[in-house]
A and B are shown apart, each in its own frame.
Chain A
Amino acid sequence: MTKEENIVQELLKKFPFLKDKAKVQRVRRVVAETPAEGFEEVFVYAKEDLKFSILCTITGLDEGQALGFIYHMARTDGITFSLKFSVPKDKPVIKSVFKYFPNSDIYEREVMDLLGAEVEGLTKGNRYPLPDDWPKDEHPLRKDWKPKGTAASGALPDEEEKI
């Protein structure tokens, strides 16, 4: 059995709810999808027991009715584990993983700005990456958000018309 298959077996043994949801995508790539309630325990298990000690980044996805979040973790032997969960778009609350990975805050601020996630437990700090005067309810990576007034379209952005 390969190392990757081993990881999947360990995950399935510990978390039966991952049945059919955890798989080896290819060599050195393990992926899993978990219900939002189970995320934290799988995440901590992956970090502590399966030795995925590196948090590469967090990807946010707009899935129509839900927002998806993928936590890309890596081990020193090159195997990566992408753990995904989704939350309803009308209540997009996720918990900060800052206490496990002190480098997570910038990635969490990114999903807050660009996708409108609400991150519980995140310390106060500068927003990233949008400007300070960017409207609070506009999140550019949501599929229904369209860039307004770009030079290419020749149209004026709403806020400019107000000036």
Chain B
Amino acid sequence: MRKVVIPIGPQHPALKEPESFSVTLAGERIMAFSARLGYNHRGIEKACEARTYLQDIYLIERICGICSHTHATCFAQAVEEIAGLETPRRALYIRSIIGELERIHSHLLWLGVAGHEVGFDTLLMYTWRDREVVMDILAELTGNRVNYGMNVIGGVKRDLSPEHIEHILKAMDILEERTKYYIQVAKEETTLIQRLSGVGMLSREDALSLGAVGPTARASNVARDTRRDDPYAAYAELDFKIVTDDHNDVYGRTLVRMGELMESYRLIRTALKNIPDGPIAIKSPRKIPAGEAFSRYEAPRGEDVHYVKANGTDKPERVKVRAPTLANIQTVAKMLEDRQLADLPIVIAAIDPCFSCTDRLITVKDLNKRSPHIVKWEELRLHGIEWHRSNGIDFSKLNKKFAQEAIRCY
């Protein structure tokens, strides 16, 4: 049969973010798969070198909209190590609690996406509705649904009040009950089991040799978890189980993530029970002494690593980030070997890819005008409004009405 090479992405309905894949097919069977990454590269590592450590925390938090706490904590840990700062224990507990809440929101988000990719949109609607519970808690604790801004060098910015603790515990009860129901669905719903079983196979040996991380590795029976192997924040004092599975397929990855949700509820309850009193941050010097540190963090998608080199000034000499998706993307070619093209969306989705994390400058150039220039944000917004108007969609009257109503309200 003649082989056909088809491009998938950078813009494609099966992808949630822009990345380009090239798939060689014989009929419906995938013969070869290659990825071209870099569409989300924003030059954040370089940008960090031109900013102070404090500014970098905000920048690094924006590497990813989902694992924002992950990157900020990983970076803060490295800088604290170089500066020799002893982060207060209460701050370490708060970091772990926010980290687990982030894991819950990320895994519930994934479960919805996985449901959607296999045509089970009821699951998407259910899980994303329940995810709002944890999003509300995160917003209550930090002021934001994403990019929480909880970390500073030397601790955290906001403390937990008794009311917060009460609300978190209540939310954990609701989410635990819902997750039990999803586990029941995953174990009993025949259509889901058949659609996910045997799809995206990754043997334990391949997971090890290709350096898979996180739930992708754990669903191939690799019992690795940075929280236990190389404990950070408060994890050395918390008891939890590493969830593994030996299905080696997308079904296994689903079970692992659901098991991890249950462990996260347990972890948060224990952490809230044992959280010590005391300060939540210590003052950090503006200039960080010369040195280097290698920091690891178990993100919802797997191990995130940061390397920071300080040169004695208030700006780092070098910041290096390796997000989990970059480690996992290399396993996808193996998972798709000799599989059907229709399995591609769910197999890619099953590593829970985050390309924003993986790539880290975007400039929009206007080449049509006589003097080509870089388009500013406001210009881009006005262009969007004008474009819609020329295509018959005009919101100007509506906007005026809203503006008048807003004035009346005040």
Contacts and interface: CB of A to CB of B under 8 A. Distances in A.
Given A80-B230, A80-B294, A160-B373, A103 B36 contact: no
Interface string B208-224: 11110000000000001
B41 A130 contact: yes
Interface string B38-52: 100101011000000
Interface stretch (B145-153, B187-195, B281-289, B359-367): B359-367
B46 A163 contact: no
Contact of B211 (A60, A103, A151): A103
A110 to B, nearest CB: 9
Contact of A141 (B34, B45, B230): B45
B229 A151 contact: no
A7 B224 CA distance: 21
Interface in A67-99: 70, 72, 74, 76-78, 80, 82
B37 A128 contact: yes
Nearest to B375: A151
A140 B46 contact: yes
A137 to B, nearest CB: 17
Contacts of A141: 45-46
Nearest to B208: A53
Nearest to A142: B46
Contacts of A29: 293-294
Interface in B233-269: none
B374 A126 contact: no
Contacts of B34: 125-126
Contacts of B90: none
A103 B307 contact: no
A56 B296 contact: yes
B211 A55 contact: yes
Interface size class of B (residues with CB under 8 A): 35 or more
Interface size class of A (residues with CB under 8 A): 35 or more
Is chain B's binding surface mostly helix, strand, loop or mixed?
mixed
Contacts, number: 103
Contact of A140 (B43, B307, B365, B372): B43
A62 B330 CA distance: 27
Interface in B345-381: 359, 361, 363, 365, 367, 372-374, 376-377
Nearest to A149: B374
B293 to A, nearest CB: 8
B322 A61 contact: no
Given A56-B322, A102-B209, A76 B35 contact: no
A161 B224 CA distance: 52
A118 B44 CA distance: 23
Interface string B42-80: 010110000000000000000000000000000000000
B330 A26 contact: no
Contacts of B17: none
Interface in A121-142: 125-131, 140-141
A53 B208 CA distance: 9
Nearest to A153: B374
A106 B307 contact: no
B36 A126 contact: yes
B209 A130 contact: no
A19 interface: no
A65 interface: no
Contact of A72 (B36, B228, B305): B305
Interchain residue pairs A-B with the least CB separation, the first 6: A129-B38, A57-B322, A103-B211, A78-B230, A78-B229, A129-B41
11 contacts: A29-B294, A72-B307, A78-B231, A80-B296, A102-B210, A103-B210, A106-B329, A149-B363, A151-B363, A157-B374, A160-B365
Given A74-B296, A126-B34, A141-B46, 16 more contacts: A26-B81, A56-B303, A57-B326, A61-B309, A70-B307, A74-B230, A82-B307, A114-B45, A126-B36, A130-B38, A131-B38, A147-B43, A156-B374, A157-B374, A160-B374, A163-B372
